[in-house]
C-alpha cells in the first residue's frame, strides 16, 4: 500500500499538534516522541474516525478475543477452562484502555476541528 507523502506529513503534523495540545499527558519529557501505547491508541482513534463509541466497541472486541485466546490456551495446557485471580485485573486493564481510547478520540476530534477551520 503506497500512502501519498502529503498524507504521511499530515499525520505527523496531527501527532505533533496532539503533543502540543497536552504536553504533560502525551509525553513524559514534554514534546519528545510518543510511546508505543500512545501511538497505538491514536491509531485506534484515527481508525474509528474519532468516534468514542466505535473505539470502545473495538476495545471490547479485543477483550472478547483475548478471553477466547486465554480459554483456548488453558484448555490446551490443562484440559479445562478455569477462573483465576488475574481475570478482574485483565478486565480493569481493558476498561482503563477503553477510557484512554475515548480520551484520544477527543484529542483527534479537536485536531480535526482545527484542521477544518
Would the pTM of this model clear 0.85, i.e. be above it? no
- In this prediction, residue 4 carries a pLDDT of 64
User: Each residue of 52-92: pLDDT tens digit?
Assistant: 999 999 999 999 999 999 889 888 988 887 777 888 899 99
HEC per residue, the chain: CCCCHHHHHHHHHHHHHHHHHCHHHHCCCCCCCCCHHHHHHHHHHHHCCCCHHHHHHHHHHHHHHHHHHHHHHHHHHHCCCCCCCCHHHHHHHHHHHHHHHHHHHHHHHHHHHHHHC
Give me the chain's average pLDDT, please: 79
Amino acid at each position: 500500500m503506497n500512502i501519498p507523502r502529503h498524507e504521511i506529513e499530515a499525520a505527523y503534523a496531527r501527532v505533533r499538534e496532539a503533543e502540543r495540545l497536552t504536553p504533560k499527558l502525551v509525553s513524559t519529557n514534554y514534546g519528545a516522541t510518543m510511546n508505543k501505547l500512545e501511538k497505538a491508541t491514536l491509531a485506534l482513534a484515527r481508525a474509528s474516525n474519532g468516534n468514542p463509541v466505535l473505539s470502545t466497541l473495538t476495545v471490547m472486541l479485543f477483550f472478547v478475543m483475548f478471553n477466547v485466546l486465554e480459554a483456548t490456551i488453558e484448555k490446551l495446557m490443562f484440559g479445562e477452562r478455569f477462573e483465576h485471580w488475574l481475570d478482574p485485573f485483565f478486565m480493569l486493564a481493558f476498561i482503563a484502555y477503553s477510557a484512554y481510547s475515548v480520551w484520544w478520540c477527543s484529542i483527534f476530534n479537536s485536531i480535526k476541528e482545527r484542521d477544518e477551520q
